[in-house]
Structure 1
Amino acid sequence: AADTTHKIGELAQKLLDLYETDKKERAEEKKSDSARSSKEAGKSGAQNSDKPKSGKHKDLQLIEVIEDTPLDISRKFKQLAVKSAEKFSTEHKRPAIVLANESAARIKDTLRSSSPESTNLFRQKALGLTQGLRRGLESLVQTRSMQNLGNGRNGRRLDFGNLNKLSTWDMHIFRSPILFKSKRTIVHILLDRSGSMTKDDAQMAKIAAYALLVTLDRIPQTKAQLSAFPAIDRDTGRITVVPLGEKPRTFASIIQGLSTFGFTPFVTAMEEVRSVLATQQADKKIVLVITDGIFSEADSEVEKLRASFDKDGIKTGAIGIRAEGNLPMFFGKNFECVESLSRLPGAVFSLAKKLMLEDCAA
């Protein structure tokens, strides 16, 4: 997302500015030392003989970072951030090591580039699920309303209940075709990438998210979007990964490259999703959360959030990765747990039936 890249750029520039400031301070210290007496200057020269090498080493390290692979950039950027973040951690009122870890994670998310072979494998695993997912998702999103257009003056079928109109020379006695109108539907997929997700769980969640996006993209009158949480900092709950209505194929490598880190701001992320959906026009709005069900907020906050979604008429469901965690607290019975990707189509179909029954009951 553009805002993600912008924030990373700001942070990186800040770190580099501090690096340059530190470099200038060292140069000034060296000049002041050389102005001392010859004896002190000799001692100072002996003591500071490594300083130019240190500066040169930093320059080389910076060049090395630029020339290295994106994964190495994350590791070396973190090393630079650990040293530099201490100088401005007070401004953010957060520990320097936390800033360093988060900045490295953001750089990794944005700059990580997968090989074409790896991306193709990721895409193939997801595409293998789409045929099974189609049935469940169509039953969930493609609710159609039946509209009778009334009677016409001609046609192939008589409306016997209206033959009495002939007595008044009204020739509208033929049945008109019934129009089935599909409802415009928006599905917002919210992907959990918090630190509680293991590497295997996160990979399964990302493949599931991409498979859902591809399947929804093929269903008429349906638009989907993907967000991931947590975001860059605690001021934001989520980031947009795939904007509404965009083709998911172009985002496959980005979805695959999402890393896990930090806490799980479920309530904050869901509130932001609700605000986004409030500005979008659709007949039906659905939020599908893919998570391990471990939330950072208090139970009372999660329960309070439920009422706001009910008030706005937004349907919510969840796919639990290997465990249900706190899912019943917010979703009630509208969730399904999957132990493997092969279970995903069946889980989505079961979830669709639960949400459909909930609609009928309402």
Structure 2
Amino acid sequence: MKSKRHTLYNALPIVAAAYGEKFGVKVTLGGDQAYTNGKSINIPNVPESFGNRDAIWGYLAHEAAHVRFTDFSVSRAPGLHAMLTNIIEDCRIEQAMIALYPGTAHTLHETARYMVQAGHYQPVTDRDSPASMVAGYCLYWLQSEGVGQAVLRPFMQTASAILNRVLPSGVCIRLEAILLKAVDTQSTQQAADFATAIIQMIEEEKDKAAQNPPPPPQKGPQDHSQGQDQGRADDQTGSGSNDSPSTDNGQANADAGGPKNDASSGQSGSHSSDSAQPGQDDADSSGPATACPASQDDHSGTAQADLPALLQQILTATGNDLPRDAHAALLGELQGLAHQAGDPCYQTVKQARSAGNDPQAGNRLLQTVRSHSSRLRQQLLGLVQASQQKAVRAERRGKKVDHRRLTKVLTGDSRVFSRSADKVSPNTAVHVLVDMSSSMNKGVSNGKKRADIARESALSLALALEGISGVNPAVTFFAGDSHAPVFSAMKHGERVQSSIGGFVFSATGTTPMAEALWHSAFELSKTREQRKLLIVITDGEPDNAVSCTKVIDLCERSDVEVIGIGIETSAVTRLFSRNVVIQDAADLQKALFRLMERALTAPVV
């Protein structure tokens, strides 16, 4: 087998179509835009040179999960509520996707790894707004603990340490408690409800801080120098005093390693440690990571008097106060790549429409070709059987003696044992692609139209092939335009009799061969047969020859044999390296027979 690098099996249109079919969502491909409208997903034409294909498939799996599981009618208030709802919902839908399709776990985790490397996921820092800290912590906690993306766990730990230094322990403890419940969210509405619960919790903590302001500093009987001495004594004994300058909650804050502020005594700094402590330089500076303090009345980086204002900033955050969406950043990168170097030949693999459902007309056509098809089947079957005859070879060792060769021993030839070669079935999937553009309505010498002969030939061949073990035929017509280019008469695995109503399709429209080739290549990629054969019957030039050349090249590099049959046209000689040109449509059946004769009897490489 040839290398599958940059071939049909990993081509963006084929893999995207396979993902869409697997997930049960509509996937389109093209242009330089990536988007989801709640019903379908569009992937931009990212060039083959982009080496992180898992990022594309992870985006597709993530958006497919939204299409499958998200209720887009659930309302979300602008700002913090919308962001928190999205964060919780992303965790829920990815968990649901992994439960339904376990293989997506690897893809989603590798996508997260790439997004970290590309900087789409950014760690929480002390310079972020308080709302960004809260949202970042929720995101990394849910993705690492809920979805299991270990690559984001360090981000969660960093966010936790910073959050614990900035917010009261009551907020930290209650936030984690809500997340522990939110990780098992069962619906989009529940995700929105948990977002509401987080906001209500912050409001409650804000009201609590506002109702319990710190006591104002009291001036003692000591003079300035006495106050300094008293402050030093307090530092040495570790006890607080209402007469001495204090910040936050006095002794409880000092014991927790929190900031000190001796500004009222005319000095600044701390005697508790030689290292820098949170709050020494400014309100946003940070110290060593610590866990949430045990007391809900305790806090670490912000003065008690400032807490209501800080919590209010979180509640009213909008726009730049909130972190950017990492998935939106990934989409921006993919769109940029597509805009710069996207392959315009790549396009959405179209789903085939039914070629029709007229069993009566189909049965009349069947009666017309049955006798000829029967003869064709017998001829092909005879050739296949002949090619499968067990060849008997003479060997020098074995279990079965060939009595006819015993006399050879007298001449020194010891090859008196016989061994039969293994019998090999054709093991071939055959897809017949028939041009049904308006030009196929042209009449021929026998009074029929090209379209009539093409239908009869395709049906006759399908009947002949379905009776041969190891052969899996399909017939597709292409006509109309690029919006509706392919029409299935018989799919792989179906029987002619159950599909007969589709063989009476009428010729119409242009020649959307490229769309038909992508469709047929995708259908062949799903078959299990070792040999894959695509036969294209046409009487003219395709609408997009460049795209045709692209997909034909992919097929040929993927061990899919592609043969073009031209009816009074030499266009096939420019498109197909293997081609047959016939000058009369009446010769089509003979041409098809000769092709199948060689294909079914040639050894499988």
**Residue from 315, 321, 324 that aligns with 2:569:** 324
Q: Which residue of 2 aligns with 1:126?
A: 369
Q: Which amino acid aligns with 2:580?
A: F
C-alpha contact 2:474 2:492 (8 A) present in aligned 1: yes
C-alpha contact 1:146 1:180 (8 A) present in aligned 2: yes
Q: How far is 1:195 from its partner?
A: 2.3
Q: Which residue of 2 aligns with 1:175?
A: 418
The structure that has the greater radius of gyration is: 2
Distance 1:294 1:137, change over 3 A: farther
Q: Structure 2 CA distance, aligned partners of 1:286 and 1:259? A: 25
Question: Could you say what secondary structure the match of 1:130 adopts?
Answer: helix
Q: How far is 1:207 from its partner?
A: 0.9
Q: How far is 1:276 from its partner?
A: 2.0
Distance 1:207 1:137, change over 3 A: farther
C-alpha contact 1:143 1:183 (8 A) present in aligned 2: no
Q: Which residue of 2 aligns with 1:226?
A: 475
Q: How far is 1:181 from its partner?
A: 1.4
Distance 1:120 1:335, change over 3 A: same
Q: Which residue of 1 aligns with 2:548?
A: 302
1:282 corresponds to 2:282: no
Q: Which residue of 2 aligns with 1:293?
A: 540
Q: Which amino acid aligns with 1:271?
A: W
- Residue deviations 1:282-318, cap 9 Å, x none? 1211111222233111x33333333212101111223
Question: Could you say what secondary structure the match of 1:180 adopts?
Answer: coil
Q: How far is 1:224 from its partner?
A: 0.6
1:335 corresponds to 2:580: yes
4+ runs of 1 displaced by more than 6 Å?
140-143, 145-150, 353-357
C-alpha contact 1:264 1:294 (8 A) present in aligned 2: yes
Unmatched tracts of structure 1, length 5 or more: 8-105, 164-171
Question: Could you say what secondary structure the match of 2:439 adopts?
Answer: coil
- Residue deviations 1:165-194, cap 9 Å, x none? xxxxxxx97323332212311101112222
Question: Could you say what secondary structure the match of 2:537 adopts?
Answer: strand
Q: Structure 2 CA distance, aligned partners of 1:145 and 1:237? A: 43
Q: Which amino acid aligns with 2:492?
A: L
C-alpha contact 1:288 1:318 (8 A) present in aligned 2: yes
Q: Which residue of 1 aligns with 2:591?
A: 347
1:191 corresponds to 2:434: yes
Q: Which amino acid aligns with 2:557?
A: K
- Residue deviations 1:210-244, cap 9 Å, x none? 0010010122211111122137x634542332121
Q: Which residue of 2 aligns with 1:262?
A: 509
Distance 1:275 1:253, change over 3 A: closer
Q: How far is 1:253 from its partner?
A: 2.8
Aligned residues: 242
C-alpha contact 1:288 1:316 (8 A) present in aligned 2: yes
Unmatched tracts of structure 2, length 5 or more: 1-20, 27-352, 410-414, 443-448
C-alpha contact 1:315 1:355 (8 A) present in aligned 2: no
Q: Structure 2 CA distance, aligned partners of 1:141 and 1:237? A: 38
Q: How far is 1:155 from its partner?
A: 4.3
Question: Could you say what secondary structure the match of 1:286 adopts?
Answer: strand
CA RMSD of superposed structures (Å): 4.1
TM superposition score normalised by structure 1: 0.54
The 5-angstrom pairing of residues 17-166 of structure 1 reads: 110=356, 113=358, 116=360, 118-131=361-374, 133-134=376-377, 135=379, 151-157=397-403
Q: How far is 1:333 from its partner?
A: 4.9
C-alpha contact 1:302 1:329 (8 A) present in aligned 2: no
TM superposition score normalised by structure 2: 0.34
Question: Could you say what secondary structure the match of 2:543 adopts?
Answer: coil
